Chains A and B, each alone.
Chain A
Amino acid sequence: MAFNLPTETAKGKVREVELGAGDKARKVGGENVLPFHLWEGEMPNRPIVAAEVSDEVGELVPALEKALGEVKNDPVAWAKKAVEEWGADAIFLLLTSTDPKATDAPAEQAAETVLKVEEAVNVPVIVYGTEDLDKDAEIARVVATKAEGKNLLIGPAKEENFKKVGAPAIGYKQTVAGMTPIDVNLAKQLNILLTNLGMEAEKLVIDPTTGALGYGLEYTYSVMERLKIAGLFQDDSMTQMPMLANIGTQAWKTKEAKSSEEEYPEWGDPEKRGIMWETITAVALLLAGADILVLRHPESIRLVKQLIADLSG
């Protein structure tokens, strides 16, 4: 008798969410299986890799400095390079310049950058503020208005400012990423609040907050996995949003990714080390159920894209 692989079929499926508009549009989500359980169902859209681009960079670790080269001070060129040379599926534009604790650039100025980047690339654009509740709300308002119809993914909306981030997104047809501190219930609650505000559930992405390898990765892993299980097997409508894992920032913040060879000679080549730290975090979260992976280093992007292709058979 032939061996039949036992299968578990899910009741629910992750919503298909479209990012970007027109010929730049790209769908994420839509799966009715746990990550890459392709013998049990389908993943109509492969997880995508977004390249993190910042509108203002301070000191970079040598590995990133080397990879970015001249584009580090030009977000438009950086984004173009990420798409054209590194193969990024989307651009994650981090508006570092708007941080009220640092440069505090006006939202209007940041919005100009957003428009230029969006113009320059043929992939969806994700726009993130610096997690300042008031400033992010202002950015959301200005960016959503100026980029009407571009269907940007704007974030992060939090429990404290979801109305101010959500309302302009509804009005100007953008998509929103809701961010909550590593908790299944809180993620779900924010989705309920946003949909009650009038957001369509198809315009929402969950950002469950990411911990890098060695820095809380297991929490993020388990919360993402549980959100995915609730969506698929309990058919819980308010957890059926695609998930975004914001990996680059977290992975490159770690001591292991930042430290030089002089500091820790026994740890080996810092460039390879940093890339592996980012890539391994990404692989874990890919298997936890991330639909959008945000990465910094071109080599990590290449490796993770290759892995997604391999796993997708």
Chain B
Amino acid sequence: MADENCRVLFLPDNRFVTVARGEILLRAAMDADVHINASCGGSGSCGKCRVLIEEGEVEREPNPKLSEAEAARGYALACQTRVLSDLKVTIPLESRIGDKRIFERAEPTPAHGYLLSAADWEERLPAWELDPPTRKYHLVLPQPSLDDNASDAERIKRGLAVEAGLRDVVIDYPVLQRLPNMIRQSDWDITVTVLDSGEELRAVRIEQGDTTERQSAIAIDVGTTTISAELIDLRTGEVTARASDYNAQVAFGEDVITRIIYAIRGTGLAKLQSVVVGTIWNLIKSLVEQAGIEYCNITHVVIAGNTTMTHLLLGLNPKYIREEPYIPSATFFPWIKCSDIGLRIAAGVYLYALPCVASYVGGDIVAGMLASGIFNTDKLTLYIDIGTNGEMVLGNRDWMLSCSCSAGPAFEGGGVKHGMRATNGAIEQVRIDKIGYEPMIITVGNRKPIGICGSGLIDALSEMFLTGVINEKGKINTDLPTPRVRRREGGAEYVLVWAEDSATRRDIVITEVDIDNLMRAKAAVYAGIEILLSSMDMDVSMIDELLIAGAFGRYLEVDKAVTIGLLPDIGYEKIKFVGNGSLLGAHLSALSREMLNKANEIAHQMTYLELSMNPAFMEHYISALFFPHTDLNAFPSVKEKLEAYRSVQRMAARDKVGEEG
């Protein structure tokens, strides 16, 4: 049922869109590129998005903004209505703005982009087997006698050699301590967990009886802002529980630099380590509870994080990451005992941190490269992780070139007056009417709007630029005939939501300062892309596939990101989303020794380009400080769109003059 699609026809625009059954009608209108006034983010409180359901079945929330009589006549609030069947919907005049005429428009192509998932691995990755780095072996050992008087440890080693063909297994010291009593209590019937660290085989745990049916691993993405974890059943390879939470280190600074500064003072490092371990511990607790397993089922943990996060988790001094020439303590990390970092899951649980490439290209990127299969393709692929640092990798199976550019936190809502993370009440989709300049917005959770998140900001910029609310330099045109643009001390602003419609009771605005910050962020990312390409003597037209990883929600619209010049204009079909590439890569490495080795190879193989040393960076950056770019010819689809918008606006202006004259 959930997969069922419905066709919605919007009148008088006469535009069709196909959406999943159960989709909110306002969202369908966005996808169809049909304008309905919507000021409250979809919370049902402004009552402006009234539509008339002509045909078809919907689910309506009763709403005080709509009388029973109206509802009986077929009226509904688009944001409070779910699509249950094919529909015919008329948008009444009062819900449309200025847009009195139906313009000829191209068919809508909602460009949300394709999200890669584990389901794509078959196609993207070489064949790999479920062969985790830890394995359980059930042994029934012969009892010692005067004739067979080998020590307990040697007896186990012999058992592993005979039964499993494992030679030269090292037995962990804590195992030895427990060995003599445990082995006798279980009547020589035991299960040994062996870790293949790549360098040696190590028996890390001994349990009574046969526990081979109970073995799980944990994969964790240790993000600067968010930590996500999965519990994987190692017999089937299936994820049995998922959990995520904010990294509690956020309280000590939002970005890696402030965390490093905190870490190098006094006992700061120990504090940050214990805080992140605390977050991880809570997640593990939640995973174990969700799946209903024992802590001792867990035999290993694989984490992927950026270089600083990996350092802080492992308690390594991050000081020199921040200082020129930006040197991390290590890029490859040995298997360590979880208990060594204060994470006490069970006896003998080891942890592997995926390797980093350089101070600002970490294990999260290596993991993403693994999970997206770039190491296994001939296609020239550009992988971008858009966060506070825009990390990116260009390459294919033969070579990989990476860099990191400081984009700042603008796309995560930082440095933006009403910016926020993509949580409930965050405006995530925006349309602006090209004639009346009235916005249409949807928030996460369909709540009254509180602020704007990354995808909402990208939408808003793109719409403001196309409609001419801002110019190529990001300056607001205060001459427009709408009260939504206004001058304030410190620059002009555009009012996205009036106070009466917002949850904060204040106007939600986008200021010129916000736009500047976003412009700088997108320019840094685009300049990084150009530097990578130009250092290989390539250009954007040669990119076969562009993969976006990172925290952008489902509603980052590719066309909007291209319109503002954040992403190159290479055709929407080439652009795909990886989702949490870091977690996917940690997951693979937890399941397969081969994949884990691949991750190590990738980290070895990848070349790092230090942008602070690159004289061309500034040049590319300045030329990207423009919407979409100083070189408009590099953005043909944007050029086309701009012309279409301008011609509609000219037509409308002519009509207006005609009416007045």
Contacts and interface: CB of A to CB of B under 8 A. Distances in A.
Interface stretch (A9-17, A124-132, A138-146, A188-196): A188-196
B473 interface: yes
A186 interface: yes
Interface in A176-202: 183-186, 188-189, 192-193, 196
Interface residues on A, range: 10 to 19
A74 interface: no
A223 to B, nearest CB: 11
B473 A189 contact: yes
Contact of B473 (A183, A184, A193, A236): A193
A185 B473 CA distance: 12
A196 B471 contact: yes
Interface residues of B, number: 11
A193 B630 contact: no
Nearest to A239: B630
A198 to B, nearest CB: 12
Q: In terms of DSSP, what is the predominant structure of the interface of chain B? A: loop
Contacts of A188: 623, 630
Contact of A193 (B471, B623, B625): B471
A186 B472 contact: no
B622 A193 contact: no
Nearest to B621: A185
A108 interface: no
Interface string B461-494: 0000000000111000000000000000000000
Interface string A151-185: 00000000100000000000000000000000111
B411 interface: no
B472 A185 contact: no
A193 B472 contact: yes
B190 to A, nearest CB: 70
A131 B625 CA distance: 23
Interface in B587-641: 619, 622-623, 625-626, 630-632
A79 B632 CA distance: 42
B471 A185 contact: no
Given A188-B630, A189-B626, A189-B630, A196 B472 contact: yes
A95 B151 CA distance: 101
A296 to B, nearest CB: 32
A164 to B, nearest CB: 11
B630 A192 contact: yes
A185 B619 contact: yes
Contact of B632 (A185, A186, A192): A192
B472 A189 contact: yes
A16 to B, nearest CB: 23
Contacts of B626: 185, 189, 192
Contact of A159 (B473, B623, B631): B473
Nearest to B468: A196
Contact of B472 (A183, A184, A192): A192
Contacts of B473: 159, 189, 193
B622 A186 contact: yes
A183 B471 contact: no
A163 to B, nearest CB: 9
A123 B471 CA distance: 37
A193 B627 CA distance: 11
Contacts of A189: 472-473, 625-626, 630
Interface string B627-659: 000111000000000000000000000000000
A153 B371 CA distance: 60
Contacts of A196: 471-472
Contacts of B632: 192
Most A CB atoms within 10 A — which of B473, B622, B630, B632?
A: B630
B630 A183 contact: no
B589 to A, nearest CB: 43
A304 B47 CA distance: 73
A236 B632 CA distance: 10
B610 to A, nearest CB: 23
A196 B473 CA distance: 12
Interface in A51-84: none
A196 B471 CA distance: 9
Nearest to B620: A185
Interface in A227-257: 236
Nearest to A190: B473
A183 B622 CA distance: 9
A183 B619 CA distance: 9
Contacts of A185: 619, 622-623, 625-626, 630
A54 to B, nearest CB: 32
Contacts of B631: 236
A236 to B, nearest CB: 8
B645 to A, nearest CB: 13
A284 to B, nearest CB: 22
B632 to A, nearest CB: 7
A185 B530 CA distance: 15
Contacts of B622: 183, 185-186
Contacts of B471: 193, 196
Contacts of B623: 184-185, 188
Contacts of B625: 185, 189
A302 to B, nearest CB: 39
Interface of B: 471-473, 619, 622-623, 625-626, 630-632
28 contacts: A159-B473, A183-B622, A184-B619, A184-B623, A185-B619, A185-B622, A185-B623, A185-B625, A185-B626, A185-B630, A186-B622, A188-B623, A188-B630, A189-B472, A189-B473, A189-B625, A189-B626, A189-B630, A192-B472, A192-B626, A192-B630, A192-B632, A193-B471, A193-B472, A193-B473, A196-B471, A196-B472, A236-B631
Given A185-B623, A189-B472, A189-B473, 15 more contacts: A159-B473, A183-B622, A184-B623, A185-B625, A185-B626, A185-B630, A186-B622, A188-B623, A188-B630, A189-B625, A192-B626, A192-B630, A193-B471, A193-B473, A196-B472
4 closest pairs, A vs B, by CB? A185-B623, A185-B622, A185-B630, A189-B626
